[in-house]
Structure 1
Amino acid sequence: MAETNTRLGRLGQDAVRLLRPLWPLVAGSSAIGAASGLATAAVLAKVNTAIHAEGGLPENFLPIFLGLVVLGVGGSLVSGLGSSLAGGRINATLNRDLADLILTAPLSRIERLGRHRVLASLNEDAGTLSRVIGLLSGLIIQIGVLTGCLAYLLTLSPPLFAITAIGFGLGSYGEAVLRRRAMVHFRTRRTLVETQQKHYQTLTEGCRELRLNKVRRLRVRNEALAGCIESLRRNAWTTQTLFEFSYLIKKLALFATIAAIIAYKALVGIDNAVLSGFVLVLLYVETPVSYILACLPEIGRAQVAYGRIAEFSADRDMAEPDLLTPAIPPASTGIDTIELRGVSHTFPSVDGGPAFTLGPVDLTLRRGEILFIVGENGSGKTTLIKLILGLYPPQTGTLLLDGVPVTGETRDAYRQHFSAVFFDYTLFDDLVMPAGLGARAGDAYLEKLDLAHKVAIRDGAFSTTDLSAGQRKRLALIQASLEGRPVLVLDEWAAEQDPTFRRLFYADLLPALKREGRTLVVISHDDRYFDAADRVIHLDDGRMTEAPGGVPARAEPSYFGSA
């Protein structure tokens, strides 16, 4: 319950934030839409009066009738256009906000949610919220019509209005019960959509492996994906059935109310004009009631979608206020030390398995040194570099830059001292280079890494990234090096290189970067090149030990020359 209240509170805050810049447009469109609805209800009242008038049409009936029609139709048009304009702007803001939430969410949360959850939110949740925004104009108008009709019925006969209110109340209660059950299925559907997204990722990212293994290919198609699609079909059928029955309940309540009014006339007696007015209005309000009911499934989906989007900002205590502020070059391009004092990071248990803890780690990195991090898979190497990079905040202990603790307010500025090529890296088309570093520096790297015949740098971007795995990894290294950051972190960079480029990396590239004053942190399994490091630390099940200092790099022919 507390979580629900918190989520509703955030929903209210977000709604106010979205509407505040547009409140004159939204308020004006809503008022005109409501007036249009009331005018439509007044038209019904005038028609009922004209039907029972004696001696022809009432005085001034025609101009009043035409005026109400113009107000009803014209108001609907103006309200629709205004709501469409406001909805488009709100939709754009929602999409920007969703991108910002993903950009600013803690990395650990993005990793826990999984890529398929993120993609599902981008593809599914944003679209769901946009569709609901598109329904608002019509919803406001129909609510205005319904309100005006009910007000007219109250003026006609309070007793009959009470009967109507009871009938509508019972119908609304039955509809609400079914709608609550439908919401459960909406949440299940959202989980199934995420699972389907994950299976689609398998089809695209694992297409080569699936071509090689028919058993796995058919298992993915006939069991995993087909089962998910069938579950989605059943879920959609069940949900729609619940809403169809809710619509049936409303319709039965409407006709039961009309029957009760006719029975009241037979038992108590009422004026025919009053009776026809009630019947006419009740039959007419079936349209706005149907529209409102048709909006309820989308509103239900929007509630679930908002809850999924809110998960990206769940760890608000880990928020960093400067992530989206304009980039400012660091005051100093050089750093002397990076220190981890008693730093640890724990991953919670998954599916009942044991939790994994790295640390506590005490480690100092110094300017211009080469540090190798080695260890078995799963020993914590990648977690350690994420702590060094500031991608994970320490759960215990302190991270310091030149003796100054790194805080939530300074963490993003701290990260700007690093470039990295991760094992599962992303290669961007464009280059981000410091001022004064021209394309010639990039051309030199391309030449040295044997890519100049395939790639050029034009207008601050690579001409192509459509290369082999090893060539793309070399291009990623060029991209990171050209950023000019004082610390370069490389996660198993040499794993996809042939022996020639592997030797070049350890024997020439690392020493050349060191001579430039760079600090280098390298995850490696190449034990034959460990003597290229100044220091080697070993991780075993989250515990760190340090090996004796390294030896200067092997005396191999240099591809880079002296710095």
Structure 2
Amino acid sequence: MFGYLWRTSWQAIVWVLIIGITSGLGSAALIATINQALSVPSEALLGQFVGLCALVLLSETLSFSLTSRLSEATIYKLRIRISQLILGSPYPNLQKLGKAKLLANLTTDIATLSQAFMLLPEICIHGAVVVGCLAYLAWLSWQMALALTGIIIVTVGTYRLLTQTPGRAFVKAREEYDKLGQSFRHLTEGIKELKLHAERSRDFMTRSLAASAENHRRLTLFANVTFMLANKYTFLVYYLAIGLILFGGIWHQAAPEVVSGYVLVLLFMTGHLAGLTHSLPAFVTARIALDKITQLGEALQTEPLGTPNAPLPKQWATFQFLTLDEVTHSFHREKENRRFTLGPINLEFRPGELVFLVGGNGSGKTTLAMLLMGLYHPELGEIRYNGVRISAANRAAYLQQFAVVFADFYLFDELFGFDADKITYKLMDYLERLHLQHKLTLNNGRFSTTALSQGQCKRLALLVAYLEDRPFYIFDEWAADQDPEFKELFYTELLPELKAKGKTVLAITHDDRYFHLADRCITLEEGQIKAIDYPPVTTPRPMVEFGEY
């Protein structure tokens, strides 16, 4: 952890060391002054005592302030760096890592580091005081200091051996925390299914959540208790050393002021040594957390991250055509324990087209849409936008050509990426058309609420997609949660309006009563294009009226 701090903020570390050394030397000088005053009282030492007190207080205050700023700045940089890595990583990488692991890195590991960094000011002060005191002891009697150094070396070596086992326990506890995070996700996202099946609920609690929680509790408790015993061992040796100085015959040749100085300094060091040893478990867990963050950084293969004002390639100024040429993508389906392959796919899309993508569940519709928009990458074949091959170099810009409402969409409570003042009129118009004007308002770019029904949330997500005004729109089963009135609005008004504006629209759907509205219906079956139909324009079947939603 200190190596990471040195690499990222070595200049601040140098200043912390300088101020810390000053504090330590000041503390040692203060103890020396006290010891001298006890041995040979003198009023002349009063000014020296006051000056050293002021120096120690000032240096400790500066050290705490500087180290706190350093630790908070480091945590800030880590949070931003991890977030940028996630934003810049290919989507399949993020899927492999899983939400639970990403959230653990962003929350638990960062919080663990933050707690350890908050101890840094105290650690620096404790360490500086201990070093200064040891220097003073060496000045009092180098023979006694040499013997004490030997005791310290043996004690530290034994302590390191004793703390290896709890260190490994902390590593295992962190692994269990990942499993526990996954169990919490199952609990919150699958609560309806768990409530409806008592046996499933009991089995889940016993084999998954409770088991992970118990393992984490047991490992953490073992590590903490073992660290505590190791700490007590060091203090046992420490007090034995004080006893040897006071009562051991080998120290009787030393001058009384030397013995009293040693005892005084060692007793003064007790609190500072306790501060150092008690903070070690926090730094062990912080090192594990930093290792986890480093591993995440290595796992998150990054691609160029687009910026809001990045210029588009010249060929992309106006959308002309998009082609998929022998595109193939495969992945492992966990539930079926088999590998699914989509393709080879050959398709072309033009501006002003309304295309329906149909097929049974598991036929590859969503996978094809993800390939088309650039979140998945072809293993074979090419995707070309206006004739330009999509690669890692231009994928970030390519992604900006799509407005998408996913089946598992996420609805932000704030309109990020928009100037609220410029879109207010459009927003109010869309809210009214989608019958949401009485459900929510926009205040300073933030929705007054997102606590809506699933159908209303989808309408709000559609509204946001409209505001994005991209050349290519993709809707994954948007109408599945809508009542007949809004299905009719979606298929007969909203989609044709997008088409009339020159937008290309791909809608994944099962609503066969509206297939006649599409320019093309592409049917997928087991990852292959089974048919491409060009429906004739016919009069739709009469719709049953269901009253107002």
Distance 1:427 1:267 in 2: 75
From 9, 24, 33, give the equivalent of 2:20: 33
Give the deviation of 1:118 after TM superposition: 2.7
Distance 2:32 2:332 in 1: 66
Q: Cα distance 1:204–1:139, how it changes in 2: closer, same or farther (>3 A)?
A: same
Q: Which amino acid aligns with 1:514?
A: K
Q: Which amino acid aligns with 2:106?
A: L
* Bigger Cα displacement from structure 2, 503-512 vs 406-415: 503-512
Aligned to 2:504: 519
Aligned to 1:327: 309
Aligned to 1:477: 462
From 250, 271, 294, give the equivalent of 1:287: 271
Residue 286 (structure 2) pairs with residue 302 (structure 1)? yes
Q: Cα distance 1:493–1:258, how it changes in 2: closer, same or farther (>3 A)?
A: same
Distance 1:532 1:14 in 2: 61
Q: When the two structures are superposed, what TM-score results if normalisation uses the length of structure 2?
A: 0.86
Q: Which amino acid aligns with 1:34?
A: I
From 222, 245, 249, give the equivalent of 2:233: 249
Distance 2:357 2:534 in 1: 12
Q: Cα distance 1:348–1:36, how it changes in 2: closer, same or farther (>3 A)?
A: farther
Aligned to 1:16: 7
Distance 2:69 2:3 in 1: 22
Give the deviation of 1:472 after TM superposition: 1.7
Give the deviation of 1:540 after TM superposition: 4.1
Q: Cα distance 1:94–1:553, how it changes in 2: closer, same or farther (>3 A)?
A: farther
| 2:474 alignment partner, SS class | strand
Residue 520 (structure 2) pairs with residue 535 (structure 1)? yes
* Bigger Cα displacement from structure 2, 458-467 vs 101-110: 458-467
| 1:347 alignment partner, SS class | strand
| 1:467 alignment partner, SS class | coil
* Bigger Cα displacement from structure 2, 74-83 vs 259-268: 259-268
Q: Where do residues 427-466 of structure 1 align in structure 2 (5 Å cutoff)?
A: 427-431=411-415, 438-455=423-440, 462-466=447-451
From 234, 241, 244, give the equivalent of 2:218: 234
* Bigger Cα displacement from structure 2, 355-364 vs 261-270: 261-270
* Bigger Cα displacement from structure 2, 83-92 vs 492-501: 83-92
State the superposition RMSD in angstroms. Answer: 3.4
Q: Which amino acid aligns with 2:468?
A: E
* Bigger Cα displacement from structure 2, 69-78 vs 209-218: 209-218
Q: Where do residues 83-232 of structure 1 align in structure 2 (5 Å cutoff)?
A: 83-221=67-205, 224-232=208-216
Q: Cα distance 1:348–1:47, how it changes in 2: closer, same or farther (>3 A)?
A: farther
Give the deviation of 1:244 after TM superposition: 0.8
Q: Cα distance 1:220–1:315, how it changes in 2: closer, same or farther (>3 A)?
A: closer
From 27, 30, 46, give the equivalent of 1:43: 30
Aligned to 2:256: 272
| 1:298 alignment partner, SS class | helix
Give the deviation of 1:235 after TM superposition: 2.0
In the alignment, is the contact (CA less than 8 A) between 1:163 and 1:261 conserved in 2? Answer: no
Distance 2:444 2:60 in 1: 51
Q: Where do residues 372-451 of structure 1 align in structure 2 (5 Å cutoff)?
A: 372-431=356-415, 438-451=423-436
In the alignment, is the contact (CA less than 8 A) between 1:449 and 1:474 conserved in 2? Answer: yes
Q: Which amino acid aligns with 1:194?
A: D
Q: When the two structures are superposed, what TM-score results if normalisation uses the length of structure 1?
A: 0.84
Q: Cα distance 1:350–1:402, how it changes in 2: closer, same or farther (>3 A)?
A: same
Give the deviation of 1:485 after TM superposition: 0.6
Distance 2:31 2:176 in 1: 46
Distance 1:220 1:463 in 2: 37
In the alignment, is the contact (CA less than 8 A) between 1:387 and 1:394 conserved in 2? Answer: yes
Distance 2:493 2:321 in 1: 24
Distance 1:285 1:180 in 2: 25
Distance 2:488 2:475 in 1: 15
Distance 1:131 1:539 in 2: 53
Q: Which amino acid aligns with 1:327?
A: N
Distance 1:173 1:252 in 2: 15
Q: Cα distance 1:168–1:460, how it changes in 2: closer, same or farther (>3 A)?
A: closer
| 1:285 alignment partner, SS class | helix
Cα offsets for 1:337-389 (capped at 9, x unmatched): 22233444443686994444434444332222233333343343322222211
Q: Cα distance 1:346–1:34, how it changes in 2: closer, same or farther (>3 A)?
A: farther
Q: Cα distance 1:262–1:380, how it changes in 2: closer, same or farther (>3 A)?
A: farther
Give the deviation of 1:90 after TM superposition: 3.5
Give the deviation of 1:486 after TM superposition: 0.8
Q: Cα distance 1:538–1:14, how it changes in 2: closer, same or farther (>3 A)?
A: farther
The number of equivalent residue pairs is 540
Aligned to 1:467: 452
Distance 2:522 2:336 in 1: 31
Aligned to 2:62: 78
Residue 486 (structure 2) pairs with residue 501 (structure 1)? yes
Q: Cα distance 1:77–1:458, how it changes in 2: closer, same or farther (>3 A)?
A: closer
Q: Which amino acid aligns with 1:477?
A: L
Give the deviation of 1:143 after TM superposition: 0.9
Give the deviation of 1:38 after TM superposition: 1.8
Q: Cα distance 1:438–1:280, how it changes in 2: closer, same or farther (>3 A)?
A: closer
In the alignment, is the contact (CA less than 8 A) between 1:109 and 1:312 conserved in 2? Answer: no
| 1:547 alignment partner, SS class | strand
In the alignment, is the contact (CA less than 8 A) between 1:490 and 1:523 conserved in 2? Answer: yes
Distance 1:465 1:199 in 2: 26
Distance 2:52 2:439 in 1: 72
Give the deviation of 1:521 after TM superposition: 1.7
Identity of aligned residues (%): 35
Unaligned runs of 5+ in 1: 1-7
| 2:303 alignment partner, SS class | coil
Distance 1:506 1:216 in 2: 40
In the alignment, is the contact (CA less than 8 A) between 1:507 and 1:553 conserved in 2? Answer: no
Give the deviation of 1:519 after TM superposition: 1.0
Distance 1:458 1:142 in 2: 51
Q: Cα distance 1:154–1:500, how it changes in 2: closer, same or farther (>3 A)?
A: same
Cα offsets for 1:183-226 (capped at 9, x unmatched): 22222222333333333334443444444444444445565433
